[in-house]
Amino acid sequence: MPADDPSRRRSRARNRWIPASLVVGDLAAFAAAVALTSQPSAKTLILLFLILALFQTGGLYRARLNLSVLDDAPAIVGRALVAGAAAMVLGGLADGVAGTARLETCALFGVLSLGVRAVVYSGIRSARRRHHLRQRTLLLGAGSVAGRLAETLVSHPEYGLDPVGMLDDDPLLGDDERSVPLLGDPAICARSCWRNP
């Protein structure tokens, strides 16, 4: 496939949609937290960049199979509070009122971010179920584990993986035991992929 193939462009766009929606959600949560607790300023903007950097380094903007607010809650709230504490220290401890306001903003942002992410995660799962954010997936092997994995992926489209087939030169599962077709030997597929990137 050529590099400018439309299916590749759609795939790249789908891969960017999930992190972009999470960033937009966090920006909205931060704007709401600032509106409720303090006045916008240059230090508030620096605080926002600090939060976004901490979230990025914590992997909170990457696309994942299982999107769970409960799994992410410790990282979200912890990083928000770390950003607030850092803003207090960097802003100077002499001005306790402003430092406390920044910490309150971060604490409220953490709570609002959890709510926003619950909505965003629900939207992502819904889009995956409707086949909008799905990635075609090949399973290496055609044994019992690959069979169970294929059945799980077929029955749970919210994971965003669409199993299109299995690759195995000596499959353990018969045709009637597989929920996806056997496509052949992995070595043949690898050679084909090298010739047709």
Query: Does 1 map to a domain?
Result: no
Length of the chain: 197
- Residue 150: CB atoms within 10 A of its CB come to 22
Q: What is the pLDDT of residues 57-75, one digit of tens each?
A: 999 998 777 888 999 999 9
Asked if residue 99 has pLDDT above 90, the reply is no
Same-domain status, 104 and 25: yes
Same-domain status, 57 and 120: yes
In the prediction, which pLDDT does 11 show? 59
Q: Average of pLDDT values for 137-158?
A: 86
> Which alpha helices (H) appear in 38-160, and where do they start and end?
42-57, 69-91, 96-129, 144-155
By percentage, how much of the chain surpasses pLDDT 70?
Answer: 85
Q: What is the pLDDT of residues 122-142, one digit of tens each?
A: 998 888 888 777 778 888 888
Asked if residue 181 has pLDDT above 70, the reply is yes
Same-domain status, 125 and 140: no
In the prediction, which pLDDT does 9 show? 58
Range of the domain at 92: 6-129
Whether 57 and 85 have beta carbons less than 8 Å apart is answered as no
Q: How far apart are CA 49 and CA 63, in angstroms?
A: 21
Same-domain status, 74 and 139: no
Per DSSP, the three-state class of 59 is coil
Same-domain status, 109 and 175: no
In the prediction, which pLDDT does 49 show? 94
Q: How far is CA 188 from the centre of its chain?
A: 33
Q: What is the pLDDT of residues 25-58, one digit of tens each?
A: 999 999 999 999 888 888 888 889 999 999 999 9
In the prediction, which pLDDT does 174 show? 79
Asked if residue 1 has pLDDT above 70, the reply is no
This prediction has a pTM of 0.72
Higher-scoring residue by pLDDT: 20, 97: 20
- Residue 107: CB atoms within 10 A of its CB come to 16
For the chain, the average pLDDT equals: 83
Which of 89, 108, 129 terminates a domain? The answer is: 129
Same-domain status, 11 and 107: yes
**Residue 107 structure tokens:** 């604490």
Same-domain status, 36 and 117: yes
Number of structural domains in the chain? 2
Which of 99, 129, 159 terminates a domain? The answer is: 129
In the prediction, which pLDDT does 195 show? 56
Same-domain status, 103 and 21: yes
CA angle 66, 69, 74 (to 5 degrees): 115
Which amino acid is present at 151? E
Higher-scoring residue by pLDDT: 42, 113: 113
Which of 129, 144, 169 terminates a domain? The answer is: 129
Q: How far is CA 60 from the centre of its chain?
A: 7
By percentage, how much of the chain surpasses pLDDT 90?
Answer: 31
Same-domain status, 107 and 121: yes
Query: Does 28 map to a domain?
Result: yes
Query: Does 187 map to a domain?
Result: yes
